[in-house]
């Protein structure tokens, strides 16, 4: 069990560029979450997957954001045409919905800076 | 989703007990009370959760009021490593495992040596 892994840990980009973040959950965790966190605030829910199905999306997830989990394992979060307001820490978490306490295991996050 | 209210910040001395309060007056019967904490520069980590009865684990204790409108996370002996933001979260579902976690701003705990 190597924990939730996120890549890259840091990304600096210019406004208007596209960025993609990857999350590798704990193996056999069927549920995967994406959150966004800005300085001084708690994490804000973006979306979650159960296996490969995207079950819920927050209204924070604008049309420029897209998340996938094609084979029910790793997930990607893409932000198109980045804006300075997208600068934040993007957190991924995973859990299993049976046989556990339902606790979420978080990665260390991917920090995005949009110049 | 039912909301929680926590103090913005608290201070503690090292090796002393810490009681972190949380109010959740609109809690429903199926809401579990979860606590997570976030150390600096890390993702949140699970601390403890409960429904009605008080709960203990190796990290902390959770005391739940009889009417369930409030709860208290208890760290029995604070260490410097316990300095973090503590989040009290209500989560629906029969085992607390359904749906997502909605975080508030939490309580920033400072621990003085």
Q: What percent of chain B has pLDDT over 70?
A: 92
**Which pLDDT tens digit goes with each residue over B33-65?**
999 999 998 999 999 999 999 999 999 999 999
Within 8 A of A4 by CB-CB distance, chain B residues are: 43
**Contact call for B98 and A103, based on CB within 8 A:** no
Residue A93 pLDDT: 95
Q: How far is CA A111 from the centre of its chain?
A: 11
- Tell me which chain A residue has its CA closest to the CA of residue B87: A42
Cα distances (angstroms) measured from residue B6 to each of B42, B67, B71, B90, B105: 21, 18, 10, 13, 8
With residues binned 3-state (H G I as helix, E B as strand, rest as coil), the percentages for chain B, rounded to 5, are 5, 45, 50
Give the number of other CB atoms < 10 A from CB of residue A69.
23
Interface test with B, best of A101, A107, A110, A111 (most B CBs within 10 A): A101
Given a cut of 80, whether residue B95 has pLDDT beyond it is no
Residue B98 pLDDT: 62
**Contact call for A42 and B85, based on CB within 8 A:** yes
- H helices of A13-58, in order, are none
- Tell me which chain A residue has its CA closest to the CA of residue B35: A103
**Contact call for B97 and A95, based on CB within 8 A:** yes
**Torsion sign, CA atoms A22, A26, A30, A32:** negative
CB proximity A33 to B under 8 Å: yes
What is the mean pLDDT for each group of 10 consecutive residues in chain A (115 residues)? Answer: 90 98 94 94 94 90 94 95 97 86 90 97
Within 8 A of B106 by CB-CB distance, chain A residues are: 42
């Amino acid at each position: 069990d190597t924990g939730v892994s996120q890549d890259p840990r840091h990304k600096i980009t210019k406004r208007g560029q596209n960025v993609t973040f990857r999350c590798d959950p704990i193996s056999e965790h069927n549920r995967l979450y994406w959150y966004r966190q800005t300085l001084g605030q708690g994490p804000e829910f973006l979306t979650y997957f159960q296996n490969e199905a995207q079950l819920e999306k927050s209204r924070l997830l604008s049309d420029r954001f897209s998340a996938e989990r094609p084979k029910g394992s790793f997930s990607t979060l893409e932000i198109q045409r980045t804006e300075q307001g997208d600068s934040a820490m993007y957190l991924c978490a995973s859990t299993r919905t049976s046989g556990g306490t339902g606790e979420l295991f978080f990665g260390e996050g991917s920090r995005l800076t949009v110049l | 989703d039912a909301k929680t209210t926590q103090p913005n910040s608290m201070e503690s001395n090292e090796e002393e007990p810490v009681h972190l309060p949380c109010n959740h007056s609109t809690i429903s019967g199926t809401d579990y009370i979860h606590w997570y904490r976030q150390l600096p520069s890390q993702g949140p980590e699970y601390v403890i959760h409960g429904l009605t009865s008080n709960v203990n684990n190796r990290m902390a204790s959770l005391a739940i009021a009889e009417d369930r409108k409030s709860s208290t996370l208890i760290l029995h002996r604070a260490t410097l490593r316990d300095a973090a933001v503590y989040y009290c979260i209500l989560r629906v579902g029969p085992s607390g495992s359904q749906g997502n976690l909605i975080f508030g701003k939490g309580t920033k705990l400072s621990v003085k040596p």
